[in-house]
Chains A and B, each alone.
Chain A
Amino acid sequence: MKKDKQVLEMLKQDMDKRNIPDFWDKIQEQKQISLPSPKLAVHQTSQSTNNILKLLSIAAAAVFIFGVIPVIVLNIISRFPFIPGGQRPSAATEKDFNYYIVNDLEQKQIYGKLSPSTKTPDELLKILSSLEHLERVYEDDKYIYRFDVAGNLTEMVCKDCTFNSSKNISQEDIDKIVDNILETYFPLADINFTQKSIYQDSDMNWNIDFTNYYSAFGSVGIYWAINIDLTPDGQIIKLERISSS
C-alpha cells in the first residue's frame, strides 16, 4: 500500500474509535416540530414569499451600493499611484530583488520572460502555499515563481491550470521527466533523498514527493523536501521546495 495511504489508514483507525451517537429519533422529532400548522400553511406561504422577495430586493440594492460602486471607485483610484490608498501593493520591483539573479535565470533559458508579479498578497495567498518572500514573486506567461533570498526557487505554480492532458504516460517516462525537472530547477541540490514517492492520485495527476528526514535528539524532522504535481502527461502543475522544519 502506498505510504500516504498507510498514514491515512492509521489515522482512520484512530478516528473510527470515536463514539458517534445515534440520533435518528431526534431527527424525526425535529422534522415533526418544523412542519407548519395546516391552517396557516397557505397564508404563511404567500406571506413568506412576499417577505422573501422584499429581502431579495433589499439584498440586491445593498450588494450594488456596498459592493459594485466601491470596486469601480477603487479601480479608478488605483490608476493614480500617487493618491493615498491608490497604490496597488505589488509583490516586487526589479530593484527590490537581485536583478542580476533574475537575468541570470532568464539567460539559463529555464524560465520564460520573468516579470515581478502584479498580484496582491491576498491573490497570492490563494495560489501559493505561504506568504514568505512575497517580494520575490515573479511570473512568466505560464507560471508564478517564488524565490528565496539567494535566488533559489521555492515554489512554482501554474497560472491557468487548463491543461489538455489527453494522454497518460508511463511511470518510466514520469521518472525521466522528474529527473529532468530536478536537474533543471535544482542543479546544485543534493538530491540523495531518504524517501521517494511517486504515484497517481484519484484525479490521475502524478504526485511526486522526495523528502530528506533528519533525526536529532530523539525526534524526527523534515530537512528538506520537494513536492511536484504533474498532469497525466507530465506537465508541471505545481512544484514546491520545503526547507527544514
Chain B
Amino acid sequence: MDKFNLDKCIKAVAKGSEQALKNLYDNYKNPMFQFALSIVKDYDLAEEAVQDTFVNIISYSKNSRIDNSKSWLFAVVKHQCLKILRQEHTDQKSPIEDFSETLSTADSTEIVGNSVDDIEALQCLDDLERQIVTLCIYGQLTQKQTAQTLNIPYMKVRSKYNYAVKKLRKFYIERGRFS
C-alpha cells in the first residue's frame, strides 16, 4: 500500500477513471470494510455501505473539497453507514431519538439485522473505541485525522484511544498472549 498514492488515485477517480476506481478498490476495500463493520456491526450492511461508497465516490469526489484523502474517504464510508442504519431503523419502524452524524455516544448504533461480533477482543471496547482503533490499524490515520473523520474532538480521540489500548492489553494479558 506504500507505493499506492491515494491522493492521485482520488483525483483520477474524480475525473472518472475506471482503472483508478479499481485500484482504489484493490487497495482500500479491506480497510473500508473493517471500518464500516465497526460501525454497523453486520457483514451485509458493511458490504452495502462500502459498495455504495464506491458507486457514488465519483460524484462525491467531484463535489468535495478534499484536504486529506484518507480522512475524507473514511468519512464518506461513515456517512454511508449512517444512511444505511437510518434506513434500517425506518424500515423496522423503531424510534430514533438522535441519529446525528457524530458517533460520540457508546450506544449510538443499535445492532440491527444479523449482527456479528466475531472478534472477542473487540467486545471489550465500546463503539467509539472500536472505530478509533480500526481507523488507527487499517486506515493508519493520525489521531487528528481520526477526530476529523469521526467529527469528534481531538481530546476525545486521545482519551478513547488510551482507554481502548489499556482494555486490549488487559484482554491479551488475561489470555496469556501478552506479557
| Chain A residues close to B by CB (< 8 Å) | 3-4, 6-8, 10-12, 14-15, 18, 20-21, 23-24, 26-27, 30-31, 34, 126-127, 129, 157, 161, 201-203, 207, 209, 211, 213, 219-222, 225, 227, 229, 237-238, 240
Contact = CB atoms under 8 A, between A and B. Distances in A.
B51 interface: yes
Nearest to A33: B55
Interface residues of B, number: 47
Contact of A129 (B43, B136, B138, B159): B159
B25 A18 contact: no
A202 B143 contact: yes
Contacts of B52: 30
A18 B119 contact: yes
B155 A157 contact: yes
Contact of B153 (A6, A30, A127): A127
Given A127-B153, A157-B155, A238-B158, A7 B165 contact: yes
A146 B152 CA distance: 21
A14 B175 CA distance: 13
Contacts of A15: 34, 119, 122, 134, 137-138
B30 interface: yes
Contact of B51 (A4, A14, A27, A127): A27
B169 A3 contact: yes
A105 B121 CA distance: 42
16 contacts: A7-B165, A10-B172, A10-B178, A11-B119, A18-B34, A18-B119, A20-B33, A20-B34, A26-B51, A34-B55, A126-B152, A126-B153, A127-B155, A203-B144, A227-B162, A237-B158
A165 B38 CA distance: 34
Interface string B1-37: 0000000000000000000001001000110011001
A23 B46 CA distance: 12
A189 to B, nearest CB: 18
B72 interface: no
A7 B168 contact: yes
Contact of B174 (A3, A6, A220, A227): A220
A147 to B, nearest CB: 18
Contacts of A222: 166, 170
B134 to A, nearest CB: 8
A26 B25 CA distance: 12
Contacts of A157: 155
A11 B22 contact: no
A26 B44 CA distance: 13
A131 to B, nearest CB: 12
Contacts of A213: 170
Given A20-B30, A219-B174, A8 B22 contact: no
A49 to B, nearest CB: 14
B42 interface: no
A219 B171 CA distance: 10
Given A15-B34, A23-B47, A220-B170, A8 B153 contact: no
Given A4-B165, A127-B155, A222-B166, 18 more contacts: A3-B169, A8-B133, A8-B165, A8-B168, A10-B177, A11-B119, A11-B122, A14-B121, A18-B37, A18-B119, A23-B47, A30-B55, A34-B55, A126-B152, A161-B154, A202-B143, A225-B166, A227-B162
Given A7-B165, A26-B51, A14 B119 contact: yes
A110 to B, nearest CB: 21
Contacts of B163: 129
Interface in B118-163: 118-122, 133-134, 136-138, 142-144, 152-156, 158-159, 162-163
